Amino acid sequence: MAADEPLVLGIETSCDETGVGIVHGTTLLADAVASSVDTHARFGGVVPEIASRAHLEAMVPTIERALRTAGISPKDLDGIAVTAGPGLAGALLVGVSAAKAYAYALGKPLYGVNHLASHICVDQLEHGRLPEPTMALLVSGGHSSLLLSSDITSDVRPMGATIDDAAGEAFDKIARVLDLGFPGGPVIDRLAREGDPAAIAFPRGLSGAKDPAYDFSFSGLKTAVARWIEAKRAAGEEVPVRDVAASFQEAVVDVLTRKAVRACKDEGVDHLMIGGGVAANSRLRALAQERCERAGIRLRVPRPGLCTDNGAMVAALGAEMVARNRTPSDLELSADSSLPVTDPHVPGAHGHSHDHDHVHEVSKENLYS
């Protein structure tokens, strides 16, 4: 770890995890997370207002815990990075406001970064520098995307995305139909290990010859599985939960890995990075490894704790911004719930503009008055 590598604190509040990470170059020093998932579980999904309030309560204690773990003083930092979007508007605002306050009080540069680009960059903390270009498959509750990046700080190109429900949403919905609780991903993964993935022939969305090569659709699969379960129950038959879980999961990961490997081949990229919360799924990892090996593609997947939303990924991208001398954000930085992945970060007003309606606009004067 070189002494001149940037020391950056990252804040992540795009959904229900209050994440604070501290990174020195590509070395992770602290990864503190306060989750409100248990609070949302009784509602069967994330409630934005509850998530925002939980972030408010957890923010300062989580930052202090990260600083203690890293054994550093705030004045030692070279920058503050924060998820500026995409995500839940109110949740994002809590993180952005906190980051602006810390940056202002400490006199440190502020970097508003993209949630999806951060999910790619986090792999540097485990497997070293990202190859350029990098092909990334991001799979989470809100996103299923194939992205090609030649520079994670400035150039991220969308190859394909979900045209309806993301993979993580489908896992949550099927878990609800099976009365397995929320979130659905971990419990379906666990049950699927005891089931037969070939027991039920569920559809593979957008996998026909004339369908878009890299886009994803899980709405039809979700409906097909729900109807299959309902038909069993209507007939008074027992639902084979483990076989349903395994067959549904196989339908999802089959499409994800097939399209990701195809994109690598088409673009001449000899490696694939998989990130996002669903990247913690054991079957997705295993099938991706199998298909990548067969195609001569190197697979990079961070450990499960770095796949779900966390502050370390934001700090990792922030450290890269500092290292590459990217323009910091200014204190008018806005939370943008629909920040496009083509904007890995939001530089100051003089360096950047885009047409998205900002959720929040605030001046230095009224923020700290």
Q: Which residues are known binding-site members for substrate?
A: 138-142, 172, 185, 189, 281
Residues annotated within the binding site for Fe cation are 115, 119, 309
Q: How far apart are CA 131 and CA 128, in angstroms?
A: 9
321-337 in b/e burial notation, b at 16+ Cβ within 10 A? bbbeebebbbbebbbbb
Q: Cβ contacts of residue 16 below 8 Å, gap of 6+? A: 35, 36, 37, 40, 46, 51, 54, 91
Determine the straight-line distance between the first and last CA of the chain, rounded to whole angstroms: 40
Residues facing 33 on adjacent strands: 19
Query: What is the identity of the amino acid at 205?
Result: G
Question: Taking Cα atoms as reference points, which of 161, 136, 165 lies closest to residue 276?
Answer: 136
**DSSP, residue by residue, 42-99:** TTTS--HHHHHHHHHHHHHHHHHHHHHHHT--GGG-SEEEEEEESS-HHHHHHHHHHH
